[in-house]
Chains A and B, each alone.
Chain A
Amino acid sequence: MKTSLPWKKTTIEDTVAKESQGISRSKEIWMRLMRDKSSMISLGFIVILILVAIFANFLIDEKLVTEQNVAERIQGPSIKHWFGTDLYGRDIFARVIYGSRVSLSIGILTVIISTTIGGLLGSIAAYYGGVTDSIIMRITDVFLAIPEQLLAMTVVAAMGATPLSVIAALSVAVIPNRTRLVRSAVLGIVDTQYVEAARAIGMKNFGIIFNEIIPNSLGPIIVVSTQGIASIMLTASSLSYLGVGIQPPTPEWGAIIFEAREFLRIAPYMLLLPGFVIVLTALAFNLVGDGLRDALDPRLKD
């Protein structure tokens, strides 16, 4: 139907433009991700895991996590105790379920904190350049000169081994890495025409950073962050396993395996089953990350 106003005439071109705008970029990426089976299965697993972690107290009695029952200690997996029981007769399945609260929050919170701070520092460094860039990057270089895991260990050693200090320590260890990543992503955007255009219409620096630069550099950052959750969870569990992270009896996944290490030979289920959960979770986050990378940039897919 034609409208009477000549300047509002809709042409086929307009309709096409509108429709292709209707499928926004994020929707397009989502549709591409949907087609990747392993990503969708992994995503389903992660969603279920997060729901289980949130509603753990409705599924399993919290008492089971700490309740010691000497009569039932070191029992293999059974219908009553899916993952068996540990040295103190505690139900390992209950500990793993409640442990998902600790492990997942460490992974997710650390990624949020480190990506926010690292992203801010990286975009400021890349956008302003010059002295600001030099100062931020030289400090980052110092942090990057210490292997990540070692830096995290040192910070935990200094701050004490509580879940909060583990999150802080891992964030400190990961921030420099994110700063560098975001800086290089932003450097590719600073010189583009749309940033120049934003500057030309008088947008303020912070407006340009938040409205133009950050949204356009998000792709690689989202991929690294997703896989970062996996690697951070693995590092956190390594710290607990080495006895310098979260301490038993807190049911963090690494700490559960730390307690079971003496029983490797006589009761391997004690560490294999919780270990299996760690591997599945890390694998799921990695696969979603891989899927996202392909969905964001299909050219990379081989």
Chain B
Amino acid sequence: MIRYVARRLLLLIPILFGVAFLIFFIMELSPGDPATKILGIEAPPEAKEQLREQLGLNDPFFVRFFNYTKNIAFHLDFGVSWRTKNPVFQDILPRIPVSLTLASLGILFATLFGIPLGVISAVKQNTIGDNALRVVATVLVAVPTFLLAMLLILIFSSKLGWLPASGAATLESYILPVITCGGPYGCAILRITRSTMLEEIRQDYVRTARAKGVPDNVVTFKHALQNALLPVVTTIGQNFGAILGGSVVAESVFSLPGIGSLVILGIRSKDTPTVIASVLLISIFFAIIMLIVDLLYAFIDPRIKAKYAKANA
């Protein structure tokens, strides 16, 4: 198991190197001269030339990329922001906890809302409750994240005045953003939980358990749900990218100072070092979550755990 984790972590390195290259290359295509962006159009050409030399912008693309990755690997140096003139890492660091809180609460909310409701929907198939849940889940998936965010602000903040519409001062201000990025994600979980549960509760072993007098709740949650969880966990993992995309929107709409809103700030102000670094960090985070999801399989499905054990033997 440990060896497997180590191997997966090692495999991450070339992927992240590729991601860095890709983002670096894409941003390289953006028009305009960085020195002009930093110093302004009015600045004398000599000053611009000096800055270009200083930032190493006159070097060939591959040399710059090599230096960039070298600085990250050895000094955690992601360059200097063209917008704030601070080291990018310094700008990003205080934003990490905000994004982590939002994303983890988002997953938690989505799971706590998706799995139980999915189970209920399957057990009570074709009742009013089931149909209502299915309609809500289908519609909510079609609502763009920013619109959902604005509707929540309109209802809970403007009309009812219950919750703040922006900022990250208290945990309360996370409620609406968490619903925004967790809601659609929870619907995806609800739908997959429902359909896999429907398959499971028709299986022979469930009938056997019922026949020997196991209480309904135990059959549903212990027998059926445990076997239905694998595709659910797959869905949780596969859609995690969506929750990160959603959190970019939620952070911007609710003005939460996270990494996502930093990406938007960076793109709008054409601050290339900030964009590259934040996208890279989000991708690292994404990769780690996918790894955790893969490891979760082993806990849920003993067959996969046995495979790991065999690989280590």
Contact = CB atoms under 8 A, between A and B. Distances in A.
User: Do A and B come from the same complex?
Assistant: yes
Contacts of A235: 245
B248 A302 contact: no
9 contacts: A145-B287, A147-B282, A150-B244, A153-B263, A154-B26, A158-B26, A237-B144, A286-B138, A286-B142
Nearest to A258: B146
Interface of B: 14-16, 18-19, 21-23, 26-31, 125, 138-139, 141-147, 150-151, 153-154, 158, 194-195, 198-199, 241-242, 244-245, 248-249, 252, 263-264, 267-268, 270, 275, 279, 282-283, 286-287
Contacts of B153: 264
Interface stretch (A47-55, A64-72, A277-285): A277-285
Interface of A: 138-139, 141-143, 145-150, 153-160, 230, 234-235, 237-238, 241-244, 254, 257, 261, 264-265, 268, 271, 275, 278-280, 282-283, 286-287, 290, 302
Given A147-B241, A147-B244, A150-B263, A257 B286 contact: no
Contacts of A153: 248, 263-264, 267
B141 A302 contact: no
Contacts of B267: 153-154, 156-157, 244
A268 B245 contact: no
Given A234-B142, A244-B267, 17 more contacts: A139-B18, A150-B245, A150-B263, A153-B248, A154-B26, A154-B275, A158-B26, A234-B145, A237-B144, A238-B245, A264-B150, A265-B154, A265-B158, A275-B143, A278-B144, A282-B143, A283-B142
A151 B139 CA distance: 26
A244 B249 contact: no
Contacts of A148: 241-242, 245
Interface of B is mostly: helix
A145 B19 contact: yes
B264 A283 contact: no
A261 B283 CA distance: 30
A157 B27 contact: yes
Contacts of B199: 302
Contacts of B194: 302
